[in-house]
Amino acid sequence: MQNVVIIGASSGMGLEVARLFLVRGCRLGVAARREDRLLALKQEAPDRVVTAVIDVTAPDASSRLRSLISGLGGMDLFFYASGIGKQNRTLTPEIELNTMNTNAVGFTRMLGEAYRYFAERGQGHIAVISSIAGTKGLGPAPAYSATKALQNVYIQALEQQANARGLDIRFTDIRPGFVDTDLLSGDFRYPMMLKPGKVARQIVAAIDHRRHVAVLDWKYAILTPLWRLLPRPLWRRLRL
């Protein structure tokens, strides 16, 4: 029975993926800021779910993660689904700095702790939901796209380091397109929206196949390489 720790399990893709692992019979350690939602998830399998309130931006987040792993009896898979994102065309400071603190500092804090745990143990699997937004700098959401690029590169760096150290730690960088969750709720209608249930199944399949990078879905797998090919003078003239 696999022990899976999920950060950001109270809503969105974290919750959808958690339910799929429960169906498989896995034991889950789930964490988020909203305890009521975690307890609601626990009711679906009370004997196989351990909960913890963790704010990834708080200094004690690392120690809380270790306590959750201990309460679960160990960790085989670390799945990170926490994050925030907003359009910020006026560059409101609070939005930019909160995004950086959550998606960059909080992300680094939690992945670092999971990596150190697996390094001590000698093996493990780290899977992260990043985004196709890290492909290029997006004018409507500067901090969001920048932090997603950071996540992509950070995972790549950890993968290289683990290999150099001879550690059996696998990494899966999951890069969805626009998914119809609370994160993208609002007046603006995003193009090519993906259904959460389908994306969750694709995420689990990518983890099962131990893929290094998984762009979801096929439409975005075609689109993102084209984005990379666009020269900078042309990219900056796009009206997004």
Residue 182: pLDDT above 60? no
pTM above 0.75, yes or no: yes
Is-contact 172 212, C-beta < 8 A?
A: yes
Residue-range domains of the chain with CATH: 3-235 (3.40.50.720)
User: Does the pLDDT value for residue 191 go beyond 70?
Assistant: no
The pLDDT confidence band at residue 1, using thresholds 50, 70 and 90, is low
Average pLDDT rounded to a whole number, residues 53-76 = 97
pLDDT digits (tens, 9 = 90+) for 16-27: 999 999 999 999
pLDDT reported for residue 155: 98
What region does 71 belong to: left with phi over 0, alpha with psi -120 to 50, or beta? alpha
Other beta carbons within 10 angstroms of residue 215's beta carbon come to 22
pLDDT at 86: 87
* Rounded Cα gap, residues 130 and 177, in angstroms: 10
Summarize pLDDT for 90-100 with one digit per residue, the tens.
999 999 999 99
